[in-house]
Amino acid sequence: MEKLEITGGKRIFGTIKISGSKNATLPILAATILTNKKTIIKNIPIVRDVETMATLLSTIGSSVKLNKIKKKIEIINNNSLKTFASYNLLKTMRAGVLVLGPLLAKYGTAKVSLPGGCSIGSRPINLHLNALEKMGADIKVKNGYIKASAKKGLKGCLIRFPKISVGATENILIAACLAKGKTKLRNCASEPEVQDLIVFLKKLGCRINKIGKRSIDILGVEKLKSTVHKVIFDRIEAGTYIIAAALTNGRLKITNINPKIMSTEIKLLNKMKINIIKRKKYIIVSSPKKIKKINIETKPYPGFPTDLQAQIMVLMTKGEGISTIKENIFENRFMHVSELRRMGAHIEILGNKAKIYGKKKLNGAEVMATDLRASVCLVLAGLVAKEKTIINRIYHLDRGYEKIEKKLSNCGLKIKRLT
């Protein structure tokens, strides 16, 4: 089992190039099922989840050519796709459920494993299934699988999501592209990754009209084209490295980003007195002598992202005074707190609220990763802790961060992978 060994106390100096977004790549790969023509997706991050999605597509019969050097993938989904997505693939990557919408819309039938549980919450998919039923699908959930059929195809209709869901918005948006007639989606997620999916779908020839902050109208079409698409940058990876720079009192240039779509995060970090110089495609981050405390709440975009909650919690342990976090998206996303406490952090949890006491010196320890973002929060804590930190179960980390130890050690930090 691989581990990471980090020796804290070094200052970060250098440049980090941000990879393509995992959470934009996954729905776009699922959406390639809609067309029989070749699609080329560029700027993809070479991370475990993307490789798992590529494997999933090839098991259903797509021809998939993943070029890890050029970070691009060529896909041809001809009509002989199997419409089955197995548990052993979905248990490690919940986003596999995003093939349900496209398979059902294109072939009128799909058997997809219920996504495995997750340490950050129950993560049901009722919003996905209820919307597909409303579009005319017959859905049965049995023996851990979703058996869906729509013999006469899916029918466009009005769907108002009872709560904002990135995955449900993406699954139904993709399915609606081949449905009969018009589908009106309301109370949709508007994350940049959803926007990038819409750009990709329009390039395929889908008729999509974003008519408001959270409203999207889709007119079903018969067939689609081929296209080439470059995935947007990973704003969560970028936010993680901004916090790494703020923590390690160095100076870091972060390139290959669009700061405009990170305005909420940058504004909040500025409030904590983190210096961020913004340019069109890069930012330069340096940290102040004193980091100000802050109170934040996680919210759907454009609010503060839940995927940066664990990371900013580490920064708050350095703040002047008590900071707070209210986690509004997932019901159990404080799994990293017990490990941070073992490193000396003083954090109190009451329901979905965390109280983080500042000016705490963290000490190195042997810790365990529980989910993707909790793992990277432990890396950040290790960078500022005295002595050594060993992080176990870093397969969680490899799901969503490309070459993290290389990117950080190239900037003067002491981090290495122990196999």
Which residues form the interface with ligand EPZ (CB under 6 A)?
23, 26, 95, 121, 123-128, 163, 165-168, 189, 193, 306-307, 329-330, 372-373, 400
Residue in 118, 157, 177, 377 annotated catalytic = 118
Q: Cβ(60)–Cβ(81) under 8 Å? A: yes
As measured in angstroms, the least distance from the Cβ of 215 to ligand EPZ is 17
345-352: Cβ within 8 A, 24+ apart: 345/314, 345/317, 345/381, 346/317, 347/313, 347/317, 352/326, 352/327, 352/328
Rounded CA gap, 361 and 376, in Å? 19
As measured in angstroms, the least distance from the Cβ of 386 to ligand EPZ is 29
As measured in angstroms, the least distance from the Cβ of 51 to ligand EPZ is 14
As measured in angstroms, the least distance from the Cβ of 60 to ligand EPZ is 18
Q: Measure Cα distances from 5 to 372, 378, 391 in Å.
A: 17, 11, 7
Rounded CA gap, 123 and 43, in Å? 28
Residues linked to residue 326 through DSSP beta bridges, in sequence order: 297, 353
CB atoms within 10 A of CB 418: 12
| 3-state class (DSSP) for residue 234 | coil
Rounded CA gap, 180 and 172, in Å? 13
> Is 157 annotated in the active site?
no
Which residue, 176 or 385, has its beta carbon nearer to ligand EPZ? 176
Rounded CA gap, 280 and 260, in Å? 8
Rounded CA gap, 35 and 406, in Å? 37
Rounded CA gap, 334 and 296, in Å? 14
Rounded CA gap, 55 and 57, in Å? 5
Which residue, 107 or 304, has its beta carbon nearer to ligand EPZ? 304
Q: Cβ(63)–Cβ(75) under 8 Å? A: yes
Which residue, 193 or 196, has its beta carbon nearer to ligand EPZ? 193
Evaluated on CA atoms 247, 248, 249, 250, the torsion sign reads negative
Q: Enter the tokens of residue 226.
A: 């081929």
Q: Measure Cα distances from 72 to 99, 311, 378 in Å.
A: 20, 29, 30
Which residue, 168 or 294, has its beta carbon nearer to ligand EPZ? 168
As measured in angstroms, the least distance from the Cβ of 399 to ligand EPZ is 8
As measured in angstroms, the least distance from the Cβ of 166 to ligand EPZ is 4
As measured in angstroms, the least distance from the Cβ of 255 to ligand EPZ is 22
- Terminal C-alpha separation, the chain: 7
Rounded CA gap, 237 and 305, in Å? 12
Phi and psi angles of residue 75, each rounded to the nearest 5 degrees, phi first: -130, 135
Rounded CA gap, 390 and 339, in Å? 12
Q: Enter the tokens of residue 28.
A: 């776009």
Which residue, 168 or 408, has its beta carbon nearer to ligand EPZ? 168
Q: Enter the tokens of residue 102.
A: 């496209």
Strands (E), 206-308: 207-212, 215-219, 227-230, 251-255, 275-278, 282-286, 291-292, 295-297
As measured in angstroms, the least distance from the Cβ of 94 to ligand EPZ is 6
**Catalytic residue ranges:** 118
